[in-house]
Structure 1
Amino acid sequence: MKRRLRTASRKFREFLMIAKGVTSTDHPVQAQIIPMRRCNLSCTYCNEFDEVSEPVPVEEMFRRIDKLAALGTTLIVISGGEPLLHPQLDDVIARIRSHGMIAGLITNGYLLVPERIQRLNRAGLDHLQISIDNVQPDNVSLKSLKVLDKKLQWLEENAIFHVNINSVIGAGVKNQWDALTVAKRAVELGFSSTVGIIHDGSGQLRPLAEDAQAVFNETRKLSKRSYSRLNGFQKNIALGQPNQWRCRAGSRFLYICEHGLVHYCSQQRGFPGIPLADYTRDDIRREFLTEKACAPNCTISCVHQTSFMDFWRAPQKGESHKVVGAGCECYSHEHGQLVQIGGAAAVQ
């Protein structure tokens, strides 16, 4: 009963999110926030973690959440690093929900146990995503189905929030068919499933080899509930072809780093680089109309999906930012390093 009630509440708020997004363009639809850059794993493809950062103080996280609410944001996804390492994560989630916003969480799943899942239920979490990279752990990633399957069973038994399992394919993945095994297990447990394509260190596309193409097509058949099915951008990515679309990063989608700066996305940090505390609706309107040079070959799923509701309007005519490969001095951003695309921001 609790699960059904939580699902009904989430779906109603998702409907309001879409209705608000269609009727107004001067507010963010989705924001990703980083309360903890440190991670308990060190996957070789990832450029979104370190091993030393302290958690962002919870009062500072409250200020950022309150600011996003004042800007009209309807969905906040908590990412990292590994956000479950933050000692007051439940309070961060509860703060998001206190504003009526949808609360999502991206985690590697290692710290999930039944008691922790129950705490996430009580905090009001709406969405959780785990990305599983392989069936057996290897020297690229320990996020394997072998290690995490028990965590998935605990989620199926205890979670009243929506769970999505993201699998990955592409360059750097040793066994492409693992993604299909992971997706089938997700569906078997009643979760939604998405598939992501490995991109380079600037979020740009890397076309799939023939075997990965076959896995991609089979896995997508299992993902009928995925928001990514509303557009075909991944099909072009899989073929190594550019997409013609209007990226609304900096406007409809905001990435807020642990230092409280607004960036286009996790892979284009440094633009616009304005403190969230100083971000205004004028900034949102400017970025809504600003063309991004990285857009044609972009693979960042959450930005594509968030921008999709505005594909039909407001042609971008501002000066194009040359942001491919950009990074701010706060980060170590190695060109050519493999990083993962996920369905993190998908509203299922």
Structure 2
Amino acid sequence: MRLVSHPVLCNYYVTYRCNASCSFCDIWERPSPYVTLDNARQNLRDLKRLGVRVVDFTGGEPLLHRQLPELLHEARQLGLITTITTNALLYPKQAERLRGLVDMLHFSLDSPVAEEHDRLRGVACFDKVMESIAIARQLGERPDILFTVFTHNVHQIRQMHEEICLPNNLVLILNPVFEYNTVETGDRLSAEALTQLSWWGRQKNVYLNDAFVQLRRDGGNHISDPVCKAGSTTLVISPENKLVLPCYHLGLKDFPITDNLYELYHSADVQQLVALEGRLPGCEGCTINCYMQPSFAVEVNKYWWRALPSTLKYNWVKGTWKQLL
């Protein structure tokens, strides 16, 4: 049973540029402009009109965009929930300008061991994450730690939880690694690793969408009976001010927005691609978290029930549940 028929999330790529070179990501390899404030203002109004509730200003590294505070302010003025994920290299210098503008602020940290984290990120940023945690707490912000989990680092969850998150009263978000295109992310998570993830998701100050675990046990999305609703739940806007379909990672087609996102989304060409969500050849086996999360939220099925407890838990802890009512 479908509960929501309109988009609920926008992944707004403010730039593809990045000041890191993560081994499990290829976005930083792409040339890229920056979104303009004028385009964003109109797009955000249309997003609100389309029913979007959450805007993830992403990249690349979103803090590279010098007008990011203005973008966040525009979204907040419209009552949209804002979220940012950053490697924290620039956060200490920009923290004051970002204060109070980000509902869900995530610092990426992929190992509690500095050398390992920096190797995965291709740049020395562990110390910047630690510095950013201290600054954010001083400013009254409530950042989360986003931990991308591989088979090789699942054993480090306890150390991350006990040495970094609990002492700082931070939520540890477990982000199971996913494969896409030709990016080498390593072996898929083992059955034992998935079991450990489910256990950790029930612990204090830990968030894991358990539907991610179930989807991986089921072999990912299947085009014969798709769980993915990326096209109808998630709008992807590129730095070139284009609507990307059916999702960023598959990216079969993009449409220039030209200050008319609302009409563009409802156009026949866009809706034809939306209707193919989860059914395209490249969708087979997909487990990409940023599209599955909203997919689980709009249709009552086993994944909806598996996602519900963690969704309620996180939004209660963060205080964003009121905005979702």
TM-score class, shorter-chain normalisation, is: 0.7 to 0.9
* 1:52/1:281 CA distance change after superposition, 3 Å: closer
Q: Choose which of 238, 255, 265 in structure 2 pairs with 1:280.
A: 265
Q: After superposition, what is the alpha-carbon deviation per residue over 1:222-259, rounded to whole angstroms, capped at 9, x for unaligned?
A: 36663724xx232442x473356522112111121112
1:128 alignment counterpart: 105
Once residues 193 and 126 of structure 2 are traced to their aligned partners in structure 1, the CA distance between those partners, rounded to angstroms, is 19
Work out the percentage of aligned pairs sharing the same amino acid.
Answer: 20
Q: Tell me, which stretches of 5 or more residues in structure 1 are unaligned?
A: 1-20, 314-342
Partner of residue 231, structure 2: 250
Distance change (3 Å), C-alpha of 1:51 and 1:218: same
Correspondence 1:137 to 2:118: no
Answer yes or no: is the 8 Å Cα contact 1:30–1:306 preserved in 2.
yes
Provide the rounded CA distance (Å) in 2 between the counterparts of 1:200 and 1:289: 24
Aligned counterpart for 1:188 among listed residues 141, 144, 167: 167
For 2:125 and 2:149, how far apart are their aligned partners in 1?
A: 14
For residues 224 and 127 of structure 1, the distance between their equivalents in structure 2, rounded to whole angstroms, comes to 15
Residues 207 and 235 (structure 1 numbering): CA distance in 2 closer, same or farther, change over 3 Å? Answer: farther
Change (3 A) 1:144 1:169: farther
- TM-score with structure 1 length normalisation? 0.70
Which runs of structure 2 are paired with 1:305-320 in the superposition (5 Å)?
Answer: 305-312=293-300
Distance, in Å, in 2 between the alignment partners of 1:224 and 1:289 is 38
Aligned partner of residue 137 in structure 1, secondary structure: helix
Structure 2: distance between partners of 1:131 and 1:68: 27
Q: 1:223 to 1:67 in 2, by over 3 A?
A: farther
CA distance in 2, matches of 1:310, 1:48: 28
Query: Which letter maps to 1:180?
Result: R
Q: Could you tell me how far 1:51 is from its partner in structure 2? A: 7.2
Give the residue type in structure 2 aligned to 1:290: L
2:143 is aligned to 163
Query: What is the Cα deviation at residue 214 of structure 1?
Result: 6.3
Aligned counterparts of 1:146 and 1:84: Cα–Cα separation in 2: 17
Residue 84 of structure 1 and its aligned partner are, at CA, apart by 0.7
| Corresponding position of 2:278 | 292
The question of whether the paired residues in 2 share the 8 Å contact of 1:132 and 1:143 is answered with no
Counterpart Cα distance in 1 of 2:229 and 2:272:
10
Aligned residues between the structures: 286
| Deviations 1:44-90, CA, capped at 9 Å, x for gaps | 22112247534222222223223322322111010011111111111
Residue 177 (str. 1) matches residue 158 (str. 2): no
Q: Quick one: structure 1 residues 145 and 211, their matched pair in 2 at CA, closer, same or farther if it must change by over 3 Å?
A: farther
Distance 1:176 1:144 in 2: 21
Q: Distance in 1 between matches of 2:170 and 2:94?
A: 19
Partner of 1:327: none
For residues 111 and 257 of structure 1, do their structure 2 counterparts lie closer, same or farther at Cα, with a shift above 3 Å needed? same
Alignment-derived partner of residue 219 in structure 2: 241
Computed over aligned residues only, the root mean square deviation of the Cα atoms, in angstroms, reads 3.3
- The 1:225/1:88 distance shift into structure 2, 3 A limit, reads same
Alpha-carbon distance in structure 2 between the residues aligned to 1:220 and 1:151? 25
Pick one of 201, 218, 229 that aligns with 2:180: 201
SS at match of 1:250: helix
Q: 1:182 to 1:51 in 2, by over 3 A?
A: farther
- Residue number in structure 1 paired with 2:242: 261
Would you say the 8 A contact 1:50–1:81 is kept in 2?
Answer: no
Give the counterpart of 1:303 among 287, 291, 296.
Answer: 291
Which of 74, 88, 92 is 1:109 aligned to?
88
Contact 2:84 2:104 in 1 (8 A): yes
Task: Determine helix, strand or coil for the equivalent of 1:78.
Answer: strand
1:13 maps to none
